[in-house]
Amino acid sequence: MMSPLYHELHRWNAAPFIWGEMDCVLSIADWVWKVKGKDPAAALRGVYDSRGSCQRETGFLRNPVEAVEACLATIGGLPRVATPAPGDIGIVMAYDAKGRLSPCGGLWLGEAWGFKTRNEDHGGRGAITIKPILIPQVLAIWGVGYEA
């Protein structure tokens, strides 16, 4: 049987990447919503539809940690942690499909970070895992309180 954590990653893999609906940050917001029962990104859903409008509406690309903190504050916040436990979320710097080093919302799976991605070869659907050694920088980690 698949754990809820891996079920979520598989859900991301099957869903198309859509800015403002199912992107790397809204996917981790979905996870927090499932675990905590409150949507930290309710005010952002459907508000932007591109990388540029995401930046204009949220400031995520310029200051990703502040943007995520603002969302988490709407549900009372989550504690920042130094070391992730399975099910925790984070913002990391990773290379995107165009080779740009960009902030990305990830889900800690225990041995690797999971990310919602856009795989053009699969209709824009996709999710990937990346081992910590391949992550140039972890900007912040929040404890979600998930228990398998």
Q: What is the pLDDT of residues 106-130, one digit of tens each?
A: 999 999 999 998 877 667 788 999 9
pTM higher than 0.85: yes
According to the model, what pLDDT value does residue 119 have?
Answer: 75
Short-list 121, 86, 76, CA closest to 106: 86
Residue 81 confidence (pLDDT) above 80: yes
pLDDT at 85 over 90: yes
**Any idea where the domains of the chain sit in the sequence?**
4-142
| pLDDT at 122 (0 to 100) | 64
What pLDDT is recorded for position 121? 67
3-state percent breakdown (helix, strand, coil) of the chain, nearest 5: 30, 25, 40
Pairing label, strands 89-95, 125-130: unpaired
